[in-house]
Structures are given as structure tokens and as C-alpha cells.
Amino acid sequence: MNFFENITFRKKPKDSTKTSLNGTNANSTSIDGSTDSLPDISADDNTLLLQQLKLQIEDLTTKLDAAHEEINYLSLQNNELKRSLREVTSKGDILQKQTAKSKNKITPNKKLRLTTPPSSSQDITPIKQQNDQARTTSTPLKQITLSPSSAQSPQQLTSNDQDVKSKTSQNNKNKLCILNTENKKGSLSIIEDTFSKHFDFCHHIMHNCSTKILVQDIDQKLENFTIRDYCIIFIGQTDVKEENKHLSIINELKDSLCRIKHTNIILCLPTYVTGAPIYNYKAELFGKLLCLAFQNNDSVYLFDTNYYLTLEMFSVTTGKINKLGLKNVYNWILDNILVDLKMLSDNPREINKTLQCNLDNTPEQNKCEDPQDFFRLQ
């Protein structure tokens, strides 16, 4: 048996094949193990790109930090508003409970609220006509005999009598004092057009001050006033915004007005601002506190300035009451004053006594309003 039968012998490679293999190995070694085959990247271009990326990262980081700060500020502001709302709500709940308790203790006789509109425009008699009637009815003429030299014709007597009536009516105009902390454009002309026919008025404006400063010398301002004269006080936004001082402001106002017994005080509640629900809630709360404080004061009338206002009576830009709203408020105050003066002429009262409405004998539209209805609570 031949041992080499199953063995295959390969031929020796030729010289050309060895050369090609050696070249292939050299090329593969050059590609796999050397960096000479990589593309040439410039170091300057790489540095510029890195700088641009770093600037973008810094810009985005700055914007992100600013956004975080804005979010934190809004969160703090939101928490502050929630806290204020909770405090106002708790005060409102306490006040509603106190109002409900005081409602059961109200005596049958209540004070006439100036918010009640007049029953008819024909019932309002101007002050001049009242003075004329008082002159002609209360002092009848005596019959006297005149000598021919001193006798006058009937036309001359009538003319002289009319002159005396005209002078008496002008000299006996009722006095009106208006105290305000907000100087609205055109308010003086509106006041003059509304009240100049019936009153000798004066207007005191102390811009952006508190009501405490406004009424601190009210005794001197109303020194010569009588029971037929009136003083109108407007509560401004300064007192409403000082939420923590509501009770102290009302107590100081009450102490200042409790000394006024010889004339009438019309206390106008704060006016709302459209688009400001938190301020309006504070204004209504302040009005309720005023109602509780002055419910037993016979010389102070409360007037809700918002009761007769509509949306077009507020400014579109600021949300505050405009000229049309001011004119409407002053007209309603004048109508109620004339009604009060007419009732005073029909039923004279003493210097320390004010009109009261009897729930049994007064028409429905002239009845006193309950504090709950007066502030239009739901």
C-alpha cells in the first residue's frame, strides 16, 4: 500500500503571485493600522464650531434660568393672591354671620335710605317754590288804610312783592358740602350743573388721601350748616386698598361723624372698577362694614353709588366710573335730597331728629332697605 496516495501536493506559488500578495498585505496594513488614511480635518474649523456650540448652550441656559425665575415669581404671586382671597373670604363669612344676628335685633322703625328712588317726579318740589308757599301761606297780610299820598297801585304792590320773594329765595338756598378724595376730569362742571340751582355748594378735593384726613376738620367745614343742609362724602380707592386697616378707618370715620348732629351726612359707598374682581370684593366688604357701623346713626345716610350704574357708565380703558356715571350718581343724590326736604317741609322735625320710615304706614317703594338687600347679596 502506498502511503502517499491520499495526500495532495500543492504547487509552489510563482513569483508574480507572491508579489501581489505582499502588496495587498501592505495596503491592508496601511488602512487598518495607520491614521494616514483618515481625512485631514483642520484644527481651526473644529475650534470655531465648538465655540458656536458653547455660545448656543450658554444662551439656552440663560433663557432657561430666566424662565425658572419667572415661574417662581408667578408662583409666589399666585400664593399671595390665594392667601388674600382666603382672608377676605373668611372676613366676609364672619361679617355675614354678624349681619344675620343683627338683622334679628333691628327695631321696627328704620331710617330712610337714600337709595330709594322718588315715587314720582311730580312729588319733588323745588326749594324756591317751598319758600314762596311758606311766605304766602304762613304770614297773611293785614288790612291797612293808606293815605292818598302813600297809596300805590296794585301793579306796583305786586311787583314789589315779587322782588322781595326773589331776593328771599336766593338768600335762603340750602348749603351743600362735597368731600372727595379723587379728582375726576369734568366733575366740577357736573356738580355745578346738578346742584347750583338748589344749593350754595362747596367742593373739597384732597387727591389720593385717606378719608381720615378728609374728615379730620369736618366740624369747621360744617360749622354754619343746619338740618336743611347736606354734606356728601365719597369713599375713595385708597381706603379700600388698605385691607388690613378697614376696621381702624371705619372706627376713625365713625368717631369723626358722631359729633355731627346738626346737619345731614350722605356717605357714598366705594364705586366698583370693571375688570377688577378682587378690588370689587374688597369694596363690597368695606361697604358692609360701613353699614354695620352707621346703622344706628340718625345723622348719616348710606348711598350705594353702584346701584344705578350700568356698563356704559364705566371707562373702557381704566374701568373706573366716567362722566356719564358721575352725572347719574349726582342726579340720584339730588332727587333723594329733594324728597327728604319735601318730607321735612310737610313734617317739621327737631334739630336732633331725622326722618324714619314706618314699616306699617309707609308705601312699599319708600320702605327702608334691609342691609342684605341693600348690598344685593345673593
* Mean pLDDT of all residues in 117-123: 43
Whether the predicted pLDDT of 377 surpasses 70: no
Q: Among 95-109, 177-191, 287-301, 311-325, which stretch is predicted with the lowest mean pLDDT?
A: 95-109
Confidence band of 57 (pLDDT split at 50, 70, 90): very high
pLDDT in the model for residue 357: 37
Question: What are the boundaries of each domain within the chain?
Answer: 174-374
pLDDT in the model for residue 47: 85
Confidence band of 111 (pLDDT split at 50, 70, 90): very low
pLDDT in the model for residue 142: 37
Confidence band of 36 (pLDDT split at 50, 70, 90): low
Whether the predicted pLDDT of 366 surpasses 50: no
Confidence band of 24 (pLDDT split at 50, 70, 90): low
pTM score, whole prediction? 0.50
Confidence band of 207 (pLDDT split at 50, 70, 90): confident
**8 A C-beta contact, residue 304 and residue 375:** yes
Whether the predicted pLDDT of 83 surpasses 70: yes
> Measured between alpha carbons, how far is 309 from 313 in angstroms, rounded to an integer?
6
Q: Among 83-87, 102-106, 138-142, 231-235, which stretch is predicted with the lowest mean pLDDT?
A: 138-142
Confidence band of 22 (pLDDT split at 50, 70, 90): low
Mean pLDDT of the chain: 71
* Mean pLDDT of all residues in 283-296: 87
- The highest-level CATH class for domain 174-374 is alpha beta
pLDDT in the model for residue 123: 45
